[in-house]
Structure 1
Amino acid sequence: MPGSLPILDLRRFEAGHPERDDALLELRRVARSVGFFYLAGHGIPQEEIDGIIALSKRFFALPEADKLEIQMVKSPHFRGYNRAGAEFTRGKQDWREQVDFGTDRAPLNVKPGDPAWKRLTGPNQYPSALPDLKPAVEKWLADVTDVGIRVLKAFAAALGQPEDVFEPIYEGGPNQLLKIIHYPGRDHTESDQGVGAHKDSGFVTILLQDTVPGLQVEGEDGWIDAPPVRGTFVVNIGEILELASNGYLRANVHRVVTPPGSTDRLSIAFFLGASLAASVPVLDLPPELAAEVRGLTADPQNPLFREVGRNFLKSRLRSHPDVAQAHHADLLDPEQRTAKLVANAY
């Protein structure tokens, strides 16, 4: 029978904590097995957590016209709202509506010959009907980025590296992606696929769940349920850490099952990535860890690139074919211009 995810306390990873060595050993064990865990002791107040959930529910309760004001297809930077059914994972329709936010910057002046990932830099879209959303999202992005970097430092230490080993590739501007997601109940869907089985492409993902379960993680003996645990986040490894550790750490497959009946589900997923201009280094692991390296996952439908911007752009083009075809058709081959691309749920 599948098991359950462990709960790790972020405070135990801090330098000087008496349980730090045991905590790092446990983190390495979890990262080598299921690759997911609940994170407690993160320091974000429950009041802030409850506030961002309440605002998210208010957004999805807006009239459709107010949500479509910021429809993602209007943004070449892949920011904004998508109706349920607008995304596909491995050719099958996901059933969730969502709104995406990222690092809010002015668009770059992209010149001929520049790398295509430069097109991803740009502003967010916010609904005029809910002005409270922008300051709340900006604060949430700052706070979960801080948590993500603390988790990243713990992973570095668990791999026998200096805590700041990844700093050169995120310093001055990590890639931030925040998805606020609403899953309608099964009575309103065509299948039980909220999001199909996939991996995440960043350093780490920090997921806040409301009260309704649905997340499942692939285990050796089947799917492991990861129901909400109040006051915690679910954290998982992304493909950057798999690349950097040459597969010692493994980005694991997960999915979301549509909630039953007339219920619905809300989650807020934050994906912490490196700077889009960076390339992922290969860490020089201690001999005892290097001996356990498994190599990178080989998936011909989802090749991994060490160039961060190239990897992230691949994910966005696949997950949002309408935006890709509207703004970036020159990056697609003829078949992709009409196909439902193989996505990874970004």
Structure 2
Amino acid sequence: MTIHTKPAHLPTIDFSKFHGSAIERDAFIAGLTRVLHDHGFFYLTGHGVPQDLIDDVLAVSKRFFALPEADKLSTEMVKSPHFRGYNRAGYERTRGEQDWREQFDVNTEGDAVEADADAPWNRLHGPNQWPAALPELKPLLLRYQSEVTRIGIDVLKAIALALGQPENAFADIYEPSPSQLLKIIRYPGRDAAGSDQGVGAHKDGGFVTVLLQDTTPGLRIRTEEGEWIEAPPVPGTFVINSGELLELATNGFVKADVHDVVTPPSGTERFSVAFFLGARYDATIPVIALADELKRGERGVTVDPLNPIFRKVGINHLKSRLRSHPDVAAAHHADLLHLLEQPADA
């Protein structure tokens, strides 16, 4: 496959300015408004996450993926009705095609919640799986999850201000318990994968994504014009991008941009840690009344028959997990597969 991309030119935003002087904060918010409308992807510096925690999380991720297969499969996702745990490469799908990455998923640590026909998304609540062979994984990932949750909520507050709204405009739909999906990911080289699709072209389903990249490139973003921009790793930064919930809330002023990951070259591998901040499962996404100067930039919500977007957060997240993990869906949720045929209500 021939890949045509432009050199990286995603903007870099220093988040310390958001907590700086009034002048710095105002300039930060004005710049963020432009970025959100242009493509919603940017590098974030000044985030305050300790470098030793970042290093430790990447190191423990590599130790996890180096475990014997039996130890990783002790937490295989198909054992969890809550879509938590380990997936071998090729077991997650994007638009029906296999993604060649192995990964380990955790979400908010908690107890299972009784679900019924009116709230099927309650099946997503529950405990995480943790490998007995690597006991340090749990405390490190939960500490990191807490840190990137802080970043995600702070970024969401800044986004609210950039949209001319009160800082806590989104709080009613994420408090007291946002979705906190965290993935540690390994992409094998092309010789092992046999495919260029590390992750197929898609949009993220939550509010914002906080992505930590190691050292190997592969992330690409598709512009409105259909061109691809590379977003290689930049030390000390996270890549932030807006998700479908913000597209819904702003009638497309903020776009959830399509992106993918290209399989690394033969003989190499790529590691990343992706965090997806989402709303409460029982929330419904409203349409924000933007000021006239912003309202003129509304582009409407994307209509994709293969990936409809729902205003009911729980349905939106549940249909995404059912579609991405057909083995878990078949094992635990065969009675919910009709949701994949439900038309979008956006």
Q: Counterpart of 1:85?
A: 90
Q: Counterpart of 1:176?
A: 180
Unaligned runs of 5+ in 1: 337-346
Equivalent residues in 2 for 1:101-250, closer than 5 Å: 101-111=106-116, 113-219=117-223, 220=225, 222-250=227-255
Q: CA offset at residue 221 of structure 1?
A: 5.8
Q: CA offset at residue 91 of structure 1?
A: 2.0
Q: Counterpart of 1:340?
A: none
- 1:42 equivalent to 2:80? Answer no
CA distance in 2, matches of 1:323, 1:278: 24
Q: Which amino acid aligns with 1:323?
A: V
Please say if residues 2 and 221 of structure 1, whose CA atoms lie closer than 8 Å, have aligned partners that are also in contact: no
Q: CA offset at residue 270 of structure 1?
A: 0.1
Please say if residues 204 and 238 of structure 1, whose CA atoms lie closer than 8 Å, have aligned partners that are also in contact: yes
CA distance in 2, matches of 1:284, 1:14: 26
Q: Counterpart of 1:341?
A: none
Q: 1:140 to 1:307 in 2, by over 3 A?
A: same
Which whole-Å deviations, capped at 9, do the CAs of 1:237-257 have from their partners, x for residues lacking one?
000111111111000000000
CA distance in 1, matches of 2:299, 2:163: 14
CA distance in 1, matches of 2:193, 2:115: 40
Q: CA offset at residue 333 of structure 1?
A: 4.1
Which whole-Å deviations, capped at 9, do the CAs of 1:199-244 have from their partners, x for residues lacking one?
0000000000000000001123621110101110000000011111
CA distance in 2, matches of 1:335, 1:136: 35
Q: Counterpart of 1:343?
A: none
Q: Which amino acid aligns with 1:87?
A: E
Identity %: 61
Q: CA offset at residue 325 of structure 1?
A: 0.5
Which whole-Å deviations, capped at 9, do the CAs of 1:74-119 have from their partners, x for residues lacking one?
00000000000111211221100000000011001224x3311011
CA distance in 2, matches of 1:221, 1:22: 30
If the length of structure 1 is used for normalisation, what is the TM-score? Answer: 0.94
Q: What SS does the corresponding residue of 1:126 show, helix, strand or coil?
A: coil
CA distance in 2, matches of 1:177, 1:217: 21
CA distance in 1, matches of 2:199, 2:238: 19
CA distance in 2, matches of 1:260, 1:123: 36
Aligned positions, number: 335
Counterpart of 1:71 (choices 76, 80, 98) is 76
CA distance in 2, matches of 1:56, 1:154: 30
Moved over 6 A (4+): none
- 1:10 equivalent to 2:28? Answer no
Q: Counterpart of 2:344?
A: none
Backbone CA RMSD of aligned residues? 1.5
Q: 1:189 to 1:297 in 2, by over 3 A?
A: same
